[in-house]
DNA sequence: TTAGATGCAAATCTTTTGCAGTGCG
DNA sequence: CGCACTGCAAAAGATTTGCATCTAA
């Protein structure tokens, strides 16, 4: 379930970064570059905490508060995707296509699912009564294949 | 968008409450009854805080921690539905049919949307790779009809 | 040059926990 | 009567904020 990312894809994202910042009127700082690079390179969905930990190896003075600020700005300007997580640290990723998430209730792992057709269907729902959709978040909760297997074995 | 609830529907839910508790092996306490009654009677999606405030008029000693415990248990046993809200207090409702939510980015109001067909479609997605769905949360973010109108008027 | 960014520490907000006392079944 | 429940206060996270200092453009 955890996506492996093509080196080419990473390069593509990094190359686009300065331009994305300019569009968002954000200055290109070492901190922002490092955070973005870390996110662009991973297929996992790290928390601000773990992003901080990882980027700190390169920028030892980077503060957690700054990571939060940077992630918020990135999310607000559409550079990254924020996955709010009930009563736990939020998760972030740098994929910006329309994809959604599976959350395993046992191991907590977050996976990606493509649900492209969903958006088209949703936009013409009469039940929306004039609501203008700007983002659709779909979270599928349950058990990932592995935990489901363990569960079956452990079941009383 | 905010649902008006039939008095009959409220009665139906309340009548079912003791039975639901027994199934969940939860004792029927005044606190639990009051919290459930409050949720069953409202079409809004109150926070633990506002539930506490409302129920306190009837049970002045009710503590917020208890409200949290009760809501968690209710949600765990399927008596109510928890809507986790990014970096804000969670919201709860007592409707347990398969419905989803719109969140207005301007006024914060939460509305209900019925997306019954969605579940059937999701369950047979190959992309899930063995993931067992137990709950689907769909959150449509954007602007409600009223805020969208205001927005258009206020736009630069 | 200067508006915007950063780092630190303290504050805030939501939710959880420990524990003694209480009450439902 | 016993175990589950409650209330209180204190703790635990996650995230935000104030402010002095820096730095990208």
Ranges of residues in chain B whose predicted pLDDT is under 70: 1-4, 85-87, 96, 98, 105-108, 115-127, 141, 150-156
Calculate ∠ Cα B28-B31-B37, nearest 5°. 85
Name the interface residues of B facing A (CB cutoff 8 Å): 1, 82, 84-87, 90, 102, 104-105, 111, 113-115, 118, 122, 125, 127-145, 148
3-state secondary structure B49-107: HHHHHHHHCCCCCCCHHHHHHHHHHHHHCCCCEEEEECCEEEEEECCCCCEEEEEECCC
**Which of residues 3 to 22 on B have a Cβ less than 7 angstroms from any strand C atom?**
21
- Residues from chain A that touch B105, judged by Cβ atoms under 8 A, are 134
Query: How does pLDDT run across A116-149, given as a tens digit for each residue?
Result: 656 655 666 666 777 777 777 777 767 777 777 7
Contact criterion met (CB < 8 Å) for B127 and A113: yes
CB-proximal positions of chain C, under 7 Å:
4-10, 13-18, 23-25
Residues A76-83: contacts with CB under 8 Å, at least 24 apart: A77/A20, A77/A23, A77/A24, A77/A26, A78/A24, A79/A20, A79/A24, A79/A36, A80/A36, A80/A39, A82/B86, A83/A45, A83/A110, A83/A137, A83/A139
Residue entry with tokens 């990473």? A10
Do the bridges between strand B81-85 and strand A81-83 make them parallel or antiparallel, or are there none, so unpaired?
A: unpaired
Residue A50's pLDDT is what?
94
Q: Are A127 and B98 spatial neighbours (Cβ–Cβ below 8 Å)? A: no
**Can you give the distance from the CA of residue A81 to the C1' of nucleotide D22 in angstroms?**
29
Q: Are B142 and B109 spatial neighbours (Cβ–Cβ below 8 Å)? A: no
Residue A100's pLDDT is what?
78
Residue B156's pLDDT is what?
36
Name the interface residues of A facing B (CB cutoff 8 Å): 1, 82, 84-87, 90, 102, 104-105, 111, 113-115, 118, 122, 125, 127-145, 148
Ranges of residues in chain A whose predicted pLDDT is under 50: 1-2, 155-156
Residue B1's pLDDT is what?
45
**Can you give the distance from the CA of residue B28 to the C1' of nucleotide D3 in angstroms?**
14
Query: How does pLDDT run across A85-96, given as a tens digit for each residue?
Result: 766 788 898 876
Contact criterion met (CB < 8 Å) for A131 and B82: no
Residue B138's pLDDT is what?
77
Of the candidates B89, B77, B96, the residue with the CA atom closest to the CA atom of residue B39: B96
User: Which residues lie closer than 8 Å to B7 by C-beta, 6 or more apart?
Assistant: none
DSSP string covering A79-142, please?
Answer: SSEEE--TTS--EEE---SSEEEEEETTT--EEEEE-HHHHHHHHT-GGGTT-EEEEEEEEEEE
Residue B125's pLDDT is what?
64
Q: Which helix (H) or strand (E) holds B110?
A: strand B110-114
Residue A32's pLDDT is what?
98
């Amino acid at each position: 379930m955890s996506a492996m990312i093509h080196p080419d894809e990473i390069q593509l994202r990094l190359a686009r970064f300065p331009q994305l910042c300019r569009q968002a009127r954000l200055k290109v700082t070492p901190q922002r570059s490092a955070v973005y690079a870390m996110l662009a390179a991973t297929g996992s969905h790290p928390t601000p905490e773990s992003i901080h930990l990882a980027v700190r190896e390169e920028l030892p003075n980077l503060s957690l508060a700054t990571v939060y600020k940077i992630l918020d700005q990135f999310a607000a300007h559409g550079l990254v995707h924020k996955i709010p997580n009930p009563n736990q640290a939020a998760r972030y990723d740098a994929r910006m296509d329309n994809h959604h998430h599976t959350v395993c209730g046992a191991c907590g792992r977050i996976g990606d699912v493509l649900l492209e057709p969903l958006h088209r269907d949703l936009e013409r729902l009469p039940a929306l009564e004039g609501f203008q959709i700007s983002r659709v978040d779909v979270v599928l909760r349950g058990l990932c294949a592995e935990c489901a297997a363990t569960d079956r074995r452990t079941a009383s």
